[in-house]
Amino acid sequence: MLFKNEITPAFAAELMQDSDKVLKFVADIKWEQGYACRNCGHTNYCEGKTASSRRCTRCKKEESATSHTIFHNIKFPINKAFYIAYNVCVLGSDFSSYNFSDQLGLNQMTCWKFRKRIQNCMLKFEVSKKIEIKQFLMTEYK
Ligand SMILES: [Zn+2]
């Protein structure tokens, strides 16, 4: 099981209800060592247009909380994506994309693709090894 001890069930339930909280959670982990602009390397930023995004004060390039993470370019609410990730990784749920589609009111193919992404990500890690949530979240998808 991934990051079971890093996210309590109560906190997970909170995240599943609130996209902004998921974005903040991902941003806090992503930039825990500090911010550096991917475009120019500058370390000063201001708030971007979307929740928890950061905008370089020099070149004005904005980076969302989720870009270059497992949630890269997700086109549906991030709290729903978190729900799928948590169920698959932490709870070890064998819900199909049809189950997720019903529960979340999302297109089945959307659920299938994201579930597949999570499963592919997990395959990159050794089963026996304890995976920290940071390693998991920062697995890049382009
Ligand atoms: Zn910059």
DSSP string, 10-39: HHHHHHHH-HHHHHHHHHHHHTTT----TT
Residue 50 domain-assigned?
no
Contact criterion met (CB below 8 Å) for 70 and 118? yes
User: What pLDDT does residue 1 have?
Assistant: 45
In a domain, 88, yes or no: yes
Residue 32 to residue 73: CA distance in whole angstroms: 21
Domain holding 126, by residue range, is 9-32+75-137
In a domain, 38, yes or no: no
5: left (phi over 0), alpha (psi -120 to 50) or beta: alpha
Q: Is residue 82 part of a domain?
A: yes
Is residue 131 in some structural domain? yes
pTM for this entry: 0.89
Judge whether 93 and 101 are in contact, CB under 8 Å. no
Please check whether residue 43 lies inside any domain of the structure. no
- Whether 15 is in a domain gets the answer yes
Domain count, the chain: 1
Distance 24 CA to ligand 1 centre (A): 21
Centroid of ligand 1 to alpha carbon of 86 (angstroms): 33
How far does residue 45's CA lie from ligand 1's centre (Å)?
8
- Domain assignment of residue 69, yes or no: no
Per residue of the chain (142 residues), what is the pLDDT tens digit?
Answer: 456 567 888 999 999 999 999 999 999 999 999 999 999 999 999 999 999 999 999 999 999 999 999 999 999 999 999 999 999 888 888 899 999 999 999 999 999 999 999 988 888 876 656 667 787 788 876 5
